[in-house]
Structure 1
Amino acid sequence: MFTRHESFSQYVRNYPVISTIILLQILLFIINFIPMIPHKFILQYLSGVNIYIANGEYWRLITPIFVHRDFTHLFFNSFSLLIFGPFLETTLEKKLFSLFYLGCGLMANIATYLFLPLTYGHVGASGAIFGLFGIYLALIVLKKIEVAKSTQIIIPLIAIAFTMTFLESNVNIIAHIFGLLSGFLFSLVYFLLKKK
């Protein structure tokens, strides 16, 4: 499930949503280094800053999902999406996967706004990525027979990622927790309603 064998062109064709998100993240990151564009333009206008959100700049609840502070941050979030996203884009299909991904990121950023100081600023797809982990947990709970063997590895991976949240500095713990919860609850409700 998490091992990729297809070519680059096949991957892009099979998983257009994931490919588009990763491309957008890379483009926004590159724009920060173009000399003709004002320094840190992307970070200045698209990052999540609670005091600006409080003043009505509500787009900052969505745009931080696609913005990253450095190459390592961009690489790990893009790599996580590249590896863990395909199964879910196929299972949920494109529209629902897009909705869940953005919804988890949005809920993570709303929680960040509600629970952290007005001076707090943040960027990154971590809340949305943890939302994917939450969706996997719901799939394991509700559709055990269909996905048990192929998803056994996801449980220790989620446990490691969640543990690292509390061990690393400069991590938005609130976003990780609420991203995970949102993914789990969104998909729990969706699959339960789908069964009826």
Structure 2
Amino acid sequence: MIMHVEPIETAYKYNAVFFLILINLTVFFLDHFLHFDLTFLYLNHGNPQWYQLVTALFCHSGWEHLSGNLFFLYIFGKLIEEEEGELALYSSYLICGLGASIASVIFLETDLHSLGASGAVFGLFTVAVLIKLSWEWRNLLEILILGQFVLLKMLNEAQLLEQADNVNRIAHLGGAIVGVVMMLLLFWFGRR
């Protein structure tokens, strides 16, 4: 007797999101535990080097800063990687983060340094919501849940924009806006 057995589908491993998390953890470990002087990777607003626009996305000031960013990178990064693949996640992270860094250099004082993945992560917020756009009821429910969270986060950041608390809200808003623009361009040019 010959039986046809369907292959067991293997679970997707989310390589990109875990790779981005691993890079962030490695840089943090080198900077804070092994005490390598990585401040040259931070975004220097007074004299920004081209590479700092990207390297600052992987540097964090402390564990709480890193932990919050990695939590949201994991949640929203998985959504993007699951829906669109590894390249989409890498591209979204880097493009939104680059936009956040550029906005920081343009709009913030020159005596500051910026670091952290939060500008890129805020971009992932908007990308994760917009990739779900469809009339399928599950997607509409996800958009409702994710969209209200993202909208509230954005409104909160805009309201606290003038608060002096060492939080780069310009990067948060800049990353989110770049995420929206990127997705609109993809929709416009027929990708979706």
Determine if the TM-score, normalized by the shorter chain, exceeds 0.5. Answer: yes
CA drift of 1:175 comes to 0.8
Q: Does structure 1 conserve the Cα–Cα contact (< 8 Å) formed by 2:100 and 2:120?
A: yes
Structure 1 residues 64 and 32: CA distance shift in structure 2, 3 A: same
Q: Does 1:129 align with 2:133?
A: no
Partner of residue 32, structure 1 = 31
Q: Does 1:143 align with 2:134?
A: yes
What is the alpha-carbon distance in structure 1 between the residues aligned to residue 84 and residue 120 of structure 2? Answer: 15
Q: Does structure 1 conserve the Cα–Cα contact (< 8 Å) formed by 2:80 and 2:131?
A: no
Structure 1 residues 32 and 64: CA distance shift in structure 2, 3 A: same
The Cα offsets for residues 157-187 of structure 1, whole Å up to 9 and x where unpaired, read as 1133224424472211111111111101101
TM-score w.r.t. length of structure 2: 0.83
- Structure 1 unaligned segments of length 5 or more: list them: 1-9
Q: Which has the larger radius of gyration?
A: 2
What is the alpha-carbon distance in structure 2 between the residues aligned to residue 170 and residue 150 of structure 1? Answer: 32
CA drift of 1:76 comes to 0.3
CA drift of 1:191 comes to 2.7
CA drift of 1:144 comes to 4.1
The alignment covers a number of residue pairs equal to: 178
Match of 1:120 among 112, 122, 145: 112
CA drift of 1:19 comes to 0.3
Match of 1:62 among 54, 58, 63: 54
TM-score w.r.t. length of structure 1: 0.81
Partner of residue 52, structure 1 = 47
Give 2:18's aligned amino acid: S
CA drift of 1:195 comes to 5.2
Match of 1:105 among 83, 89, 97: 97
Runs of 4+ in structure 1 deviating by more than 3 angstroms, as ranges, are none
Partner of residue 185, structure 2 = 189
Partner of residue 166, structure 2 = 170
Please report the RMSD computed on the Cα atoms of aligned residues, expressed in angstroms: 2.2
Partner of residue 81, structure 2 = 89
- Structure 2 unaligned segments of length 5 or more: list them: 1-9
Q: Does structure 2 conserve the Cα–Cα contact (< 8 Å) formed by 1:139 and 1:147?
A: no
What is the alpha-carbon distance in structure 2 between the residues aligned to residue 177 and residue 193 of structure 1? Answer: 24
